[in-house]
Amino acid sequence: MEEAGAEALGMLLVILAAAFLAPMVSDHLARWVLIPATVLEIVFGIILGPAGLGVVHEDAAIAMLADLGLALLMFMAGYEIDFARIAGRPLRRALVAWAVSVGAGLALAAAAFGASQTALIVGLALTTTALGTVLPILRDAGALQGAFGTRFLASGTVGEFGPIVLIALLLSGYRPLEGTLLLAGFFLLAGVAAWRATRPPSERLGRLIRATLGSSAQLAVRLCMLLTVLLVWVAATMRLDALLGAFAAGVIVRLMLATNHPEEAEEVESKMDAVGFGFLIPLFFVMTGVRFDLRALLADPVSLLLVPVFLAAFLAVRGGPDYLLSKGDVPQRQRAPLALMSATALPLVVVLTAIGQETGALDGALAASLVGAAMLSVLVLPQVGGALLRRAADAEA
């Protein structure tokens, strides 16, 4: 094996060890404080990366695996969307709340950074919801049932998908008309794929999907991966945000399984969970920590102070409208938890700060401030929201 390949394999080994330890440490700490394994994966990445021990650094092969992990995170977020469940009032109210967030976020960022691309990136970051990150936490806690689950799914769907669309429109480098036409072309392609996914498959394909779920062929899993990579490639080729393709792939696969293979849907989801959350998604979160510029953040007191400021902005810009517009959708005691969960942000903040640094709109310290606040949002807000949900459940019992 070549020296470069051996080095990459060694770093992958260290990353996988960190991913293995994260849930174990999380479980050990649970007696004192609930820390999601996702956050620990990022912390381990910081410790292992250039800002810490320096044993892991950016590598082309590992970076590609991490990007695939992010794509699968978006795939799983898209897969969780049950449009029949959120259609109607929940989705309409979520759309209005997000539109208010967009206006407030862009206005606040423009007031702080002027009319610039920096303000655009920061403003969009404030409108995101970490649906793919929070869903496993809520699912494990059994909090996705009932009115709260429906309303959060609606809010999270809009807060994840909406910013991806705006990134494709405003940050792809196209003129507005060109970007809109390309985006419309992608949606048309995805719509055709979704329509075809709801049509009955050939008898041979349907039989093979059912027959190979317990064999080494795993045709359903291979189909999911093929569709994900295909749509990510199509979106990237069109110079749209690649995550748009991953999210669309999740939606299409859910439609296909719910329509044609409802008996196998749960098993396929379990296998995709294993591929994603068992390997590639933790790798993405560890590499997020490796890429985190802790030194730049600590070297700039102003940027360090911006971390709690951005966290408060996430709450005000993203959580505030959802709180105000959830009246009548969920019980009063669940409105604050909904706002807290909706204000979580991480994956798309990582994407936006990467775009900002590539274009020169963000320096390392400002990018680290945003990512640091997003990390805190995933660490703190679900814990507080979960505690409030449990208190609400106890009050109703």
At 44-87, the pLDDT tens digits run: 999 999 989 999 998 889 999 999 999 999 998 888 888 888 98
Mean pLDDT, the chain, integer: 89
At 117-137, the pLDDT tens digits run: 999 999 999 999 998 888 887
Q: Is the pLDDT of residue 397 over 80?
A: no
User: What percent of the chain is predicted at pLDDT more than 90?
Assistant: 51
pLDDT of residue 6: 84
| Structure-token match 């449009």, residue found | 83
**Which pLDDT band holds residue 156 (cuts at 50, 70, 90)?**
very high
- The mean pLDDT value for 136-158 works out to 87
- The mean pLDDT value for 276-299 works out to 91
**What's the token pair of residue 119?**
């303000």
Task: With 0.85 as the threshold, say if the pTM is over it.
Answer: yes
**Which pLDDT band holds residue 386 (cuts at 50, 70, 90)?**
confident
Torsion-angle region of 118 (φ positive above 0: left; ψ -120 to 50: alpha; else: beta):
alpha
Give Cα separations from 5 to 10, 59, 84, 137, 263 (angstroms). Answer: 9, 10, 47, 35, 42
Within-domain flag for 52: yes
Residue 255 CA to residue 261 CA, distance in Å, equals 10
Domain count, the chain: 1
197: domain range? Answer: 3-25+36-396
Query: Which range, of 45-49, 106-110, 119-123, 259-263, averages the lowest pLDDT?
Result: 259-263
At 14-37, the pLDDT tens digits run: 999 999 999 999 889 888 877 778
Sequence length of the chain is: 397
Within-domain flag for 90: yes
Residue 173 CA to residue 167 CA, distance in Å, equals 10
pLDDT of residue 43: 92
Within-domain flag for 107: yes
pLDDT of residue 17: 96
Residue 38 CA to residue 271 CA, distance in Å, equals 20
Q: Is the pLDDT of residue 219 over 70?
A: yes
Within-domain flag for 31: no
Q: Is the pLDDT of residue 157 over 80?
A: yes
pLDDT of residue 3: 65
pLDDT of residue 36: 78
Name the maximum alpha-carbon separation found in the chain.
Answer: 64
Within-domain flag for 30: no
At 327-384, the pLDDT tens digits run: 989 999 999 999 999 999 988 998 899 899 988 999 989 999 999 999 899 888 988 9
pLDDT of residue 212: 87
Within-domain flag for 377: yes
**Which pLDDT band holds residue 2 (cuts at 50, 70, 90)?**
low
**What's the token pair of residue 354?**
């990467």
- CATH assignment at residue 354: 1.20.1530.20
